[in-house]
Homo-oligomer: A and B are copies of this chain.
Amino acid sequence: MTTLNERIKKDGIVVNESILKIDSFLNHQIDPIIISQIAEKFYNHYKEAGVTKILTIEASGIAPALMTAQQFGVPMLFAKKATPSTLLEEQYKTEIHSYTKGTTHSVIVSKKYLSQNDVVLIVDDFLASGRAAMGLIDLVEQAEGKVAGVGICVEKSFQEGREKLEKMNVDVYSVSRIASLKSNKITFVEEARHE
């Protein structure tokens, strides 16, 4: 069991069978020590992949993506949900549907910061339906860059995200994999295998 799993067991709140709230240390209040440990795991998994850039989406992906960028010694880039008035140049744009919120957003990155020479590691806090990750992959592909893989803090393995990404031949590395949130109980993939 990893430290992240232990922390999820201790502080995670099961809202319902599909929603886990871990906003005491991952995506509202943030514990820099846990994030740094996660970044180190991403680095160990992808260090031979020739990564040139870390890509995430605002807002809760920024913390793990930044510390991962620090480990790799490369820049981090975050896709923005709307067009700020100060971003005037050309953009790559994709649509991402939020399963939890039931909304669809356009997200953009400036064309200046993604190119065909980039090998991009995508980082996010959660993997559920896979729609955020697929939107970010779309942005990299528009730039004709290469996707090194997708690094995820917490994967809801009972949703279809990993399967969809693996069908696209994308390497998915998740620090924590949750098999089930049923009966108000957090079961990790490793535990479910032994039941």
Residues of A in contact with B (beta carbons under 8 Å apart): 15, 19, 21, 23-25, 28-33, 35-36, 58-59, 62-63, 66-67, 69-70, 73, 75-78, 80, 84-88, 100-101, 109-110, 112-113
Contact A88/B28 with A59-B78, A67-B66 known, Cβ cut-off 8 Å? no
CB distance from A45 to the nearest CB of B (A): 19
Cβ-defined partner of A24 (8 Å) among B29, B30, B32, B113? B113
Please name 18 further chain A to chain B contacts, defined as beta carbons within 8 Å, in addition to the given A19-B85, A32-B76, A84-B100, sorted by A numbering.
Answer: A19-B86, A21-B87, A25-B75, A28-B77, A28-B78, A28-B87, A28-B113, A29-B77, A30-B69, A30-B75, A30-B76, A33-B70, A58-B59, A62-B63, A62-B66, A66-B66, A66-B67, A84-B101
**B69 lies within 8 A of A23 (CB):** no
**B77 lies within 8 A of A100 (CB):** no
A45 to B30, CA, bound (A): 22
Residue with the greatest number of chain B CB neighbours at <10 A, chosen from A58, A67, A86, A87: A86
